[in-house]
Chains A and B, each alone.
Chain A
Amino acid sequence: MKNMQTSGSIVVIAEHFEGEIRPITYELVHFAETLQQFSPAPIKILVLDERAETLAKSLARTTGKDVLGLRAPQLAQYNGQVYTSILHEILRDHPPLYVCIGHSSRGSDYAPGLAMRLKAACITGVSALSVQEDMICFSRDVYGGKINADMVSNTETTVLTVQPGSYGPAPDRDLPKGNVCLKSMTVSPQTSTTLSTTPFQTSDLDFSAARVIVSAGRGIGEEENLELIRDLASVIPQSVVCGSRPVIDLGWLTYDRQIGVTGATVTPDLYLACGISGAAQHVSGMKGSGFIVAINTDPMAAIFNLSDICIVEDLKTFIPVLLEALSNKR
C-alpha cells in the first residue's frame, strides 16, 4: 500500500462504462503527464468499481501508471454520493496536489462536492495549461468560447475537470506496467440511490457513411428555417443534417442527430456549421472534421476559431443566395 499513497501526487480518476475504460480516462492521463512537467509529482490512477480488479489491471498495463482499485458493492452503478464518500475517505488523509476528473456528465456531477469536502478549489472544463509568473494557470472557455479565462488555484489540493477532446490519449510508449493495489471500501447508507442506467434512444443513423454534415444551431431562429438547412443538404452529395443541443432540445431534430458532448462525435470531410456559436460542448463533437465552414451573424462567434472558412452572414438570407448561385451554375 505504501506506494499507493496519494499525498503530493497527481490523481486521475478513471471513467468507465459497462466494463470498458472510457477514452476520457486516457486523455486525463495525458493531461496529468502535461501537468507533471510543470509540477513534478507521481501520477496515480484511481478506479472505482464493484470489483475493480480487471479494470485496474488493464489500466496499469495500458498506461504504465500505478493504479488503486477501490471496490464496494454500491459501485455496481455510478452514484455521485458513493463516489464522493469513497474518494473523500481515500484522499482526505493523503491530500494530492491535483485530482483530475473528466468533464463528463458523471465527472461534473461529483467533482464540485468532492472538492468542497477536500477544501479544494474546483476548476471545471479545463482545456489547456500554462505557467505565468510561476503560477500554473488552467484555461477554460467562458462566454460560449468567445473568451478564454486562465484560472489559478489558491488551495493545497485542486480538483480539475478536463474538457473531453482537449488532450488526445497519452502517446504510446513501451512502458513497464504499473503496480496494482485493490482496496475494499465500506459505504454508509446514502440519501440518493441509482436505480438503473438505460439507453433511451437508439438510432440507425450512420455518420461514418456521411462525407458531409450540415449542422444547424440556435442561430436558425425558427423551426421553418430548418428547411433551408435541408435544402442545402439536398444539393450536397453524401450529406446528413444534424444540429447542436438547442435545436434538439426544441424538438426540431431528433436526439440521434445531436452533435456534441452528450450526443455524437463526428469527423466528416466537411462540416458546415450554420448558426452554431461554437460552445465547448458542441466543439468537442466536431472539431476533428476535415474541413469546417461556419456561417454566423456574430463575427466573434467561437466557431470561427476552429473554422477553415468563416462567413459572417445571416443564414436565413445567405443560404437562399447560395442555392440560387449554385442552380445558376448547374
Chain B
Amino acid sequence: MKILVCVKQVPESEAVVSIDKDAGWVDVHDTSVFRMNHFDECAVEAAVQIKEAFPGTTIHIISVGPERSEVVIRRAIGMGADHGTHMVTPGDGFVDPSTLAGWIASLSEASDADLILCGAMSEDLMQGQVGPLMAEYLSLPCATAVVQMTIMPVGEGVHVEREIEGGYREAVALQLPALLTIQTGINQPRYPSLSKLLRANKLKLNTLYVDAMEDSAPLQGVRRVTLPRKLREGVFLEGSASQKAEQLLTILSDRSFLTVL
C-alpha cells in the first residue's frame, strides 16, 4: 500500500504573533518555536501504524512551506515514514487553499497513492480545506474528522468513524484510493526514534519550488487582518501572583462564588 501524508509546520500555540505593517497578514515573531501541526502528527502516526500492520507499505510525506519547514518532513520520517517532498514557498503568506490543494494533487505521489492522510485542519489557519479539496481534485472518496480507522481485507477499502456533534460517531466505508482527514485523539503520536532520525537527516528530500504570487486567479484573498474584538471588559489583574490571588478571591467572594471570612 502507498500512503501519502500531508504535514504542515505551524507556530506553537503560545507563539507571539502580530499584524504586519500594512495589515495584510500575520507576522510570527522570530523567537517563536515552530513544530509539526498536531493533527498532522496524528496522521503520520496513523500511517506508521498501517505500515507496521501491513509490511510492504510505503509512506511518503509532503509539506508545503518556507525553507524552515523541512524539519517537519524529517521528523515524520523519524517517526517511520520513508520519503519526503518539500514544496518550498518564498514565505509564510496566505495561499488560497484550492491553489495549495492543486499543487499537492499534481504530484505523482498523490495520484499513485492508495491512501492520502491529512490533518483535519492546521492549528494556525484552521480552514480544514486542503484535504477535502485534494479529494475533489483527484476524484477520491473523502471522510473528514476521522477518529478511528480499519483497513479492510483487499478489495473492501477502509472503514472509518467520523466524530460528529453530541457524542455521536458516523461509520463510513470508503473504497480505496481514498482521502481521510485525521482528528486528534485517534492515537498518541510516537516520538521519532534516534536511529530513524539520523537516517532522516541524511536523506535527500525531493525539493520543488512554488510561488502563490504566480497564481493569477486565486478564488479568495485576505483583505486585511485585525486584532479580535473584545467581547467582554477583560480586566487584567496587576501585581505579584499573591496580589492577583487576593484580588481574585475578593472578586469571587463578592459575586458569592466563594465564601471567605
The chain A residues found within 8 Å of chain B, CB to CB, are 17, 77-81, 104-106, 108-113, 115-117, 120-125, 132, 135, 137, 140-155, 190-203, 211-212, 218, 235-237, 245-246, 248-250, 255-256, 261-263, 269-270, 277, 279-280, 287, 291-293, 297-300, 302, 304-313, 317-318, 321-322, 324-326, 329-330
B16 contacts A300, C-beta separation under 8 Å: yes
B257 contacts A147, C-beta separation under 8 Å: no
A151 contacts B222, C-beta separation under 8 Å: yes
Query: Helix, strand, loop or mixed for chain B's interface?
Result: mixed
Closest to A290 in B: B255
* 5 cross-chain CB contacts under 8 A: A121-B96, A195-B173, A262-B164, A309-B237, A311-B244
State the CA gap A110–B133 with chains docked (Å).
10
B159 CB to closest chain A CB (Å) equals 7
Residue B251, interface by CB 8 Å: yes
Which residues on B sit within 8 Å (CB–CB) of A325?
242, 245-246, 249
Complex partner residue of A245 from B125, B142, B184, B241, CB under 8 angstroms: B184
State the CA gap A298–B11 with chains docked (Å).
14
Which residues on A sit within 8 Å (CB–CB) of B127?
124-125
Which residues on A sit within 8 Å (CB–CB) of B38?
246
The answer to whether residues A270 and B241 also contact, given A197-B164, A198-B171 and a CB cut-off of 8 A, is: no
Which residues on B sit within 8 Å (CB–CB) of A287?
231
A304 CB to closest chain B CB (Å) equals 6
State the CA gap A287–B260 with chains docked (Å).
28
Residue B248, interface by CB 8 Å: yes
Which residues on A sit within 8 Å (CB–CB) of B221?
151-152, 154
A139 CB to closest chain B CB (Å) equals 8
Residue B178, interface by CB 8 Å: yes
B226 CB to closest chain A CB (Å) equals 5
Which residues on B sit within 8 Å (CB–CB) of A313?
241, 244
Which 3 pairs across A and B sit closest by C-beta, in order of nearness? A249-B185, A192-B141, A121-B219
B230 CB to closest chain A CB (Å) equals 5
State the CA gap A155–B142 with chains docked (Å).
24
Complex partner residue of A291 from B142, B223, B255, CB under 8 angstroms: B255
A326 contacts B143, C-beta separation under 8 Å: no
Which residues on A sit within 8 Å (CB–CB) of B251?
293, 309
Extra contacts besides A109-B143, A249-B184 (18): CB < 8 Å: A104-B164, A109-B142, A137-B223, A142-B26, A153-B220, A191-B141, A195-B172, A202-B167, A255-B167, A297-B14, A300-B16, A300-B17, A302-B228, A305-B231, A305-B232, A311-B237, A322-B248, A325-B245
A308 contacts B223, C-beta separation under 8 Å: no
The answer to whether residues A192 and B172 also contact, given A269-B257, A325-B242 and a CB cut-off of 8 A, is: yes
B225 contacts A104, C-beta separation under 8 Å: no
B257 contacts A270, C-beta separation under 8 Å: yes
A147 contacts B217, C-beta separation under 8 Å: no
A78 contacts B170, C-beta separation under 8 Å: yes
B123 contacts A307, C-beta separation under 8 Å: no
A154 contacts B17, C-beta separation under 8 Å: no
Which residues on B sit within 8 Å (CB–CB) of A190?
141
B97 contacts A112, C-beta separation under 8 Å: yes
B13 contacts A277, C-beta separation under 8 Å: yes
Which residues on B sit within 8 Å (CB–CB) of A236?
252, 257-258
| B137-185 contacts to A (CB < 8 Å) | 137, 140-145, 159, 161-175, 178, 184-185
Which residues on A sit within 8 Å (CB–CB) of B16?
300
Complex partner residue of A148 from B14, B226, B245, CB under 8 angstroms: B226
State the CA gap A123–B222 with chains docked (Å).
11
A135 contacts B223, C-beta separation under 8 Å: yes
A312 contacts B236, C-beta separation under 8 Å: yes
State the CA gap A136–B172 with chains docked (Å).
37
State the CA gap A298–B257 with chains docked (Å).
26
Which residues on A sit within 8 Å (CB–CB) of B144?
80, 105, 108-109
